[in-house]
Amino acid sequence: MSDYRIRVLDEDEKRAAQDLFLGSLHAAPVTDEMWEYSSAGYPAERCFGAFREGRIVGSAQSFAATMAVPGGAVLPLAAVSRVGVRADHTRRGVMTELMRAQLRELGEPLASLHATEPVIYGRFGYGVACRGRTVEVEATRGRAVPPLPGDGEIRLLETDELAVELPKIYERIGLHRPGMMSRPRGWWRMVVERRLAQKDHLVAAVHSGPDGDDGFALYEATTVNISPDQRERRLDVHDMHGASLGVVLDLWRFLLGADLVRWVRAWGRPLDEHVELIVPNRGDCRTIELTDETWLRLVDVPTALAARTYGPARPVVVEVHDRFLPENSGRYRVGPDGVRRTDASADLELPVDSLAMLYLGDISASALAATGRLTVREASALTRADRLFTTDRPPNSGTFF
């Protein structure tokens, strides 16, 4: 790595970094038209580049956000993306130094990303903290479904309302589930406004309850070729949030009742969103895949552990190993009364990527132990850890970047 220099990018270097990232995915450079939207979400001061002989050969970028953790606290989050190294400079430690500089210098206690190559990020301390279901449901086409409680109404937004109204509704809904994250203005520019500029036919259905707008579904219709002579329509749901499960299921019922539609498909849905319970035939609802919805990194372990709440159980002493950021390594007494460093003997021992899997409540300590990702030093501590780290709802981010 002595031939490489890692530094923050200047504003006029951002486009070269974006083209490098796209090239690492074997994609074409960003067009002039799309650069206006693509550049919006990632400030130059949060973009790191690796340079050799004055040329950028690697990049790692992020935007500032916040994430809800169990108990309702909201922590600063680095939303990491656009990580790539030129093909002629891979396997020389460039990505490792980019990731280390990014985690050390930005200062947020949490970082998250969506992994293109999952095998890469465990060595940097990231673990899968949220999972999501890709669900496809046969459209009801007006068939009766069990009545749902509530008295909400649903309306469609005009296309020119999407970029204005959806951020307001998302803000109003709030970060009510562990793993949910805030969406800065730049995110909406990159995701929604960019697609509208590409003339994608996005449609937004908004749910309104007694207190106003409390949910939305953003979707588009696509054509599925069944055979040379048969085509069917499918609604692809790109984004759906509600202030309660009832609101979300009401949106599902609306989508499933659409005319001229064979299926409704949605990606990354929360594991407790039981849409199969509102259709006449459970077999009409299929889980196509279970995805690694969010990879999480506890950058500041003591701050992250102290921020969340814990279930009713006697404390456990957890020994954390973090080779990438060794200042996190140590023993922590975790209990309902809080978290502190300790010199006491460890009850449980685990690497920091396994701690990330445990942190939001998606995976239990027992599951980590059974798969060799957590070492038990005191047998009774495993059940206590399960109770301490459990949550009322499975975590889910619901925000792709």
What residues act catalytically? 121, 401
Say whether 85 counts as a known binding-site residue: yes
Give, rounded to a whole angstrom, the gap between the first and last alpha carbons of the chain.
Answer: 29
Quick one: angle between helices 352-359 and 381-389, nearest 10? 50
Q: Judging by DSSP bridges, how do beta strands 203-209 and 127-138 pair with one another?
A: unpaired
Please give the Cα distance from 176 to 171 (Å, whole number).
11
Q: Are strands 230-242 and 263-269 parallel, antiparallel or unpaired?
A: parallel
221 vs 139: CA distance, rounded Å? 13
> Which candidate, 361, 374, 240, 245, places its Cα nearest to that of 294?
361
Return all residues near 140 (Cβ < 8 A) that are at least 6 apart: 253, 256, 257, 279, 280
Contact residues for 96 (Cβ-Cβ < 8 A; gap 6+)? 123, 124
Q: Is 83 annotated as a binding residue?
A: yes
Instruction: Find out whether 117 is annotated in a ligand binding site.
Output: yes
93 among annotated binding-site residues: yes
Rg of the chain over Cα atoms, rounded to whole angstroms, equals: 23
Residue 96 counted as an annotated binding residue: yes
User: Any known ligand binding at 95?
Assistant: yes
d(CA 64, CA 83): 16
Beta bridge mates, 295: 113, 128
Cα separations in angstroms, 195 against 159, 185, 189, 199, 249: 11, 15, 9, 6, 26
Distance between CA atoms of residues 81 and 251, nearest Å: 30
What is the CA 100 to chain-centroid distance, rounded? Answer: 21
**Is 92 among the annotated ligand-binding positions?**
yes
* Amino acid (one-letter) located at 245: L
Task: State the sign of the Cα–Cα–Cα–Cα dihedral 198, 200, 201, 204.
Answer: negative
What are the binding residues?
83-85, 91-96, 116-117
Return binding residues for acetyl-CoA.
83-85, 91-96, 116-117
